[in-house]
Amino acid sequence: MTTSAVSTFQAPKGTYDLLPPDSAVFLAVREAIAAPLRNAGYGYVETPGFENVELFSRGVGESTDIVSKEMYAFETKGGDKLALRPEGTASVLRAALEANLHKLGNLPVKLWYSGSYYRYERPQKGRYRHFSQVGAEAIGAEDPVLDAELIVLADQAYRSLGLRNFRILLNSLGDKECRPVYREALQGFLRGLDLDEETRRRIEINPLRVLDDKRDAVQKQLVGAPMLRDYLCDACKAYHEEVRELLGAQGVAFEDDPKLVRGLDYYTRTTFEFVHDGLGSQSAVGGGGRYDGLSEMIGGPSLPSVGWALGVDRTVLALEAEGVTAAVPATTAVFGVPLGDEARRVLFGTVTELRKAGVAADLAYGGKGLKAAMKAANRSGARFALVAGERDLAEGVVQLKDLDSGEQAPVRLEEIVTTVKERLA
């Protein structure tokens, strides 16, 4: 009786491993989101997985769930207080400021990034403690065209994947001129409601976050709450109207959502969210907005900026919900099946030549017999098998077998690369 060996260790709770073939879909999603960004002049940036804890408490906001409940914060042996990054914007802005990219004279600085982020949350489908995002930031310019550009690029990315059933929610959060007036009116309304102690504390620190409370008991009481759109100053109204007109002119459909505030304190003016109704309660697949004051919050100069982050995990779930298969490039086109030691040496050389010529090729390893090697070839998803035995080699040929049709024909060794490339084309 044999027992299957299982490792002593498992992935930590709320995390996941990405393995083939599923990992190919994640790569395809990342590439589809990145492609429009590269075409629009965004350069790639990569930041550390952890940062000074102050970067997030100042930038993202002390009162946010992300900082107060979900951040993985720790102290190093040297006494540094660090946190695993819970989101990307603050890190990317910190990196741009540290490298003085804003002083190079070409604003906005346009950057895109991809990576893992960490939040201590109650794990459920579509909400993990480790998750993957692709994000984009345009730093150092206040222009409605930039806000519209980023929304259009995200829309383009999702449509290129074949997603159709997503919606774009849009709102304006005002600026430092009109937001304080609204904040006071909202606080006056909220103080009269029957709310728990923690929510009451939030009213005093950041009352807009109460509007984002998902609990039914809170939402029912918010009926009749003052709306930010009624308090926007003329400049914010005009700015928001231009963003709406630019999106409309590009044929990008959106819905005005006056309650949309997003979960981070740094947002100003334009804020937006991509939602997919096929995902249940975790319907947001991505979102972002303008954050004109964040640079000053973290000790930098005034740099009005806008950006977004799209969840790779959530996007994959959205594709599944719509029954859309992401276009994944074939991992293997040709599979070598050597019969004997000499054939193994020869086909290893042939497979190496095919790879150098840009053809994805693999080989049966470990001295497998014909039946087991052909099974491996079929499992690999290859289009062709190269089968070689002693008699073939003596004649200077290998058998090229089309795994779709089953047709097989001898091809001279020196003509393999050319023949395979022609057949694949």
Would the annotation count 16 as a binding residue? no
Which helix H or strand E contains 264, and what residues bound it?
none
Q: How far is Cα 217 from Cα 66, in angstroms, rounded to an integer? A: 22
Which helix H or strand E contains 308, and what residues bound it?
strand 305-311
Handedness of CA 308, 83, 17, 14 (dihedral sign): negative
| Residue that has been written with the tokens 């806008």 in this structure | 306
Would the annotation count 231 as a binding residue? no
Would the annotation count 299 as a binding residue? no
| Residue that has been written with the tokens 């084309």 in this structure | 425
Q: What is the CA radius of gyration of the chain?
A: 27
Nearest to 175 by CA among 228, 236, 230, 229: 236
Q: What does DSSP say about strands 81-84 and 109-118: parallel, antiparallel, or unpaired?
A: unpaired
- DSSP, collapsed to helix, strand or coil, labels residue 69 as helix
Q: CA geometry: angle at 45 spanning 43 and 51, to 5°?
A: 155
Nearest to 97 by CA among 135, 154, 59: 59
Q: How far is Cα 102 from Cα 110, in angstroms, rounded to an integer? A: 10
Handedness of CA 204, 207, 213, 216 (dihedral sign): positive
Would the annotation count 267 as a binding residue? yes
Would the annotation count 342 as a binding residue? no
- DSSP, collapsed to helix, strand or coil, labels residue 12 as coil
Would the annotation count 89 as a binding residue? yes
Would the annotation count 119 as a binding residue? yes
Phi, psi (deg, nearest 5) at residue 199? -65, -35
**Are 377 and 364 within 8 A, CB to CB?**
yes
Cα distances from 137 to residues 112, 147, 241, 409, in angstroms, run 6, 10, 22, 54
DSSP state string for 18-63: --TTHHHHHHHHHHHHHHHHHHTTPEE----SEEEHHHHHHHT-TT
2 burial via Cβ count (<10 Å: 0-12, 13-18, 19+): exposed
Binding annotation for L-histidine:
87-89, 119, 133, 137, 262, 266-267
Binding annotation:
87-89, 119, 133, 137, 262, 266-267
